[in-house]
């Protein structure tokens, strides 16, 4: 399904948010290590799922790739271009290729603008077409995402969550991007509507050959849509593999624990499913554990885990993991 060309290469990407104190002179007293030395590739036309608990840095990863946050260190290559080096007009032009779909359909649309204005804004900003052409394009986009073009003059508050998410999708598609970060696009929606939105995203991917980074907080959500899946824990990607490989041969203890929480559709196997219950809470990313960040909760932890950070390596073709035991 996926062609093998790499579209985006993320190299030791790090994003720390400084914690400051003081009123007049602000001192840095520490940093939230939201994303720490993360490396992976996204291939043309694929959907890479990114999964992890709340607060583990998934959104930050997505935003830093898109340069909405400037990375603390590390590189993001889009084709040959290093996005982290781009500024001003160059970055603006590059952004036409990359878009984002947001988690909260209520916060992601400006309540003061009509749907027509929201969807045509990207075209206006990049001076594409005249007013009439833009209006036609907006109607076409609305149709594409399954909304009636008659709704063009309405305001966001007149729509349901699912419809709003479709408006967000139409806005993201306006500039005909290649790559879209979908940041938990369905987790704020009713279960009955989630499938519709996922199907829409899949159809659009097929039609336009889009590449997705699809963020979700549990494995069952991305199982359906992703070609490969990355698992994140406390600012680190701990395992990355093709979908089947990850679900059948999870290597990292954290992935195994997550998977054990996913119900198996086959009742004969579901009965035998062993849940691995993780103890303790996720530590604060402002003060992550030394060595392997998962060691305080890892059922298999050994001495070296407390001291040495496990290396991120490809243990089998297309199967990356960071654990001393693998």
Partner 1 sequence: MAESVALDQPLDESTARKGRSPGQDAWREFRRNRIGVAGLIFIIFIILVAIFAPLMSPYGYATQNNLNSRAKPMTAYTITTDYLPNCHWAGTPLEWGCTIFFTGSDALGRDLWSRTVYGTRVSISIALVASTVSLLIGSIYGTVSGYAGGRIDNFMMRIVDFLYAVPILPLIILMQVYFKALARQGVREGLTGAIIELNQQMGGMLFLFIALGALNWIGMSRMARGQVLSYKNKEFIEAAHMIGASNSRIIFRHLMPNILGPLLIAETLAIPGYIFTEAVLSFIGLGVNPPTPSWGQMISEGYQGLRSNPHLVLVPGAALTILTLAFNFMGDGLRDAFDPKLRGRK
Per CB under 6 A, residues contacting ligand ATP are 17, 32, 34, 52, 54-60, 217, 285
Binding of ligand SF4 by 325 (CB under 6 A): yes
Q: How far is CA 249 from CA 94, 97, 233, 316, in A?
A: 38, 35, 18, 11
Contact 182, 172 (CB under 8 A): no
Binding of Mg ion by 59 (CB under 5 A): yes
DSSP string for residues in 249-278:
S--SHHHHHHHHTSPPSSHHHHTTPPP-PP
Measured between alpha carbons, how far is 26 from 38 in angstroms, rounded to an integer?
Answer: 29
Pairing of strands 236-242, 228-233: antiparallel
In DSSP terms, which residues pair with 214 in a beta bridge?
A: 49, 182
Least distance in angstroms from the C-beta of 113 to Mg ion? 24
Question: In the set 74, 253, 285, 288, which binds ligand SF4 (CB under 6 A)?
Answer: 253
Name which of 107 and 276 has its Cβ closer to ligand SF4.
276
Binding of Mg ion by 84 (CB under 5 A): no
Distant-in-sequence, close-in-space partners of 200: CB < 8 Å, separation ≥ 6: 145, 146, 166, 169
Name which of 158 and 307 has its Cβ closer to ligand SF4.
307
Contact 231, 294 (CB under 8 A): no
Query: From the list partner 1, ligand SF4, Mg ion, none, which binds 104 (C-beta under 5 to 8 Å, kind-based)?
Result: partner 1
Site track 11-50 with Mg ion (rule: CB under 5 A), x = hit? ----------------------------------------
Binding of ligand SF4 by 16 (CB under 6 A): no
Least distance in angstroms from the C-beta of 223 to ligand SF4? 22
Query: From the list ligand SF4, partner 1, ligand ATP, none, which binds 305 (C-beta under 5 to 8 Å, kind-based)?
Result: ligand SF4
Distant-in-sequence, close-in-space partners of 152: CB < 8 Å, separation ≥ 6: 114, 115, 116, 135, 138, 139, 142
Contact 51, 219 (CB under 8 A): yes
Name which of 232 and 292 has its Cβ closer to Mg ion.
232
Name which of 114 and 187 has its Cβ closer to Mg ion.
187
Q: What backbone torsions phi and psi does residue 150 show, to the nearest 5 degrees?
A: -65, -15
Q: Which residues bind partner 1 (CB under 8 A)?
A: 24, 26, 63, 66, 68, 92-93, 95-96, 98-100, 102-104, 107-115, 121-122, 125-126, 139, 143, 146-155, 157-158, 163, 168, 171, 174-175
Q: Could you report how far apart the first and last alpha carbons of the chain are, in Å?
A: 29
- Report residue 85 as tokens: 């080096």
Binding of ligand SF4 by 323 (CB under 6 A): yes
Query: From the list ligand ATP, partner 1, ligand SF4, none, which binds 212 (C-beta under 5 to 8 Å, kind-based)?
Result: none
Quote the DSSP letter at residue 118.
H
The residues of the shown chain that bind ligand SF4, judged by CB under 6 A, are: 252-253, 292, 294-295, 298, 300-301, 305, 310, 323-325
The residues of the shown chain that bind Mg ion, judged by CB under 5 A, are: 59
């Amino acid at each position: 399904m996926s062609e093998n060309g790499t579209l985006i290469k993320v190299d030791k990407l790090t994003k720390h948010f400084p914690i400051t104190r003081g009123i007049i002179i602000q001192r840095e007293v520490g940093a939230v290590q939201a994303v720490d030395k993360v490396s992976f590739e996204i291939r043309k036309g694929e959907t890479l799922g990114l999964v992890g608990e709340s607060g583990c840095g998934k959104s930050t990863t997505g935003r830093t790739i898109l340069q909405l946050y400037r990375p603390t260190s590390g590189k993001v290559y889009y084709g040959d271009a290093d996005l982290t080096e781009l500024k001003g007009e160059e970055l603006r032009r590059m952004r036409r290729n990359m878009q984002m779909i947001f988690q909260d359909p209520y916060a992601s649309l400006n309540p003061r603008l009509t749907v027509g204005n929201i969807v045509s804004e990207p075209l206006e900003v990049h001076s594409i077409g005249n007013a009439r052409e833009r209006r036609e394009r907006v109607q076409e986009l609305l149709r594409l995402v399954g909304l009636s073009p008659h709704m063009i003059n309405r305001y966001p508050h007149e729509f349901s969550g699912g419809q709003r998410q479709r408006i967000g999708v139409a806005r993201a598609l306006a500039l005909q991007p290649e790559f879209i970060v979908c940041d938990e696009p369905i987790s704020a929606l009713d279960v009955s509507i989630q499938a519709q939105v996922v199907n829409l995203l899949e159809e659009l991917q097929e039609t336009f050959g889009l590449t997705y980074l699809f963020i979700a907080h549990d494995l069952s959500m991305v199982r359906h849509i992703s070609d490969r899946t990355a698992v994140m824990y406390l600012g680190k990607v701990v395992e990355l593999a093709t979908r089947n490989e990850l679900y059948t041969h999870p290597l990292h203890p954290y992935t195994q624990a997550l998977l054990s929480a996913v119900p198996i559709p086959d009742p004969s196997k579901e009965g035998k499913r062993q849940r691995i219950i993780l103890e303790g809470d996720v530590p604060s990313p402002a003060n992550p554990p030394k060595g392997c960040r998962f060691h305080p909760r890892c059922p298999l932890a050994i001495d070296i885990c407390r001291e040495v950070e496990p290396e991120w390596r490809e243990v089998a073709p297309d199967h990356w993991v960071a654990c001393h035991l693998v």
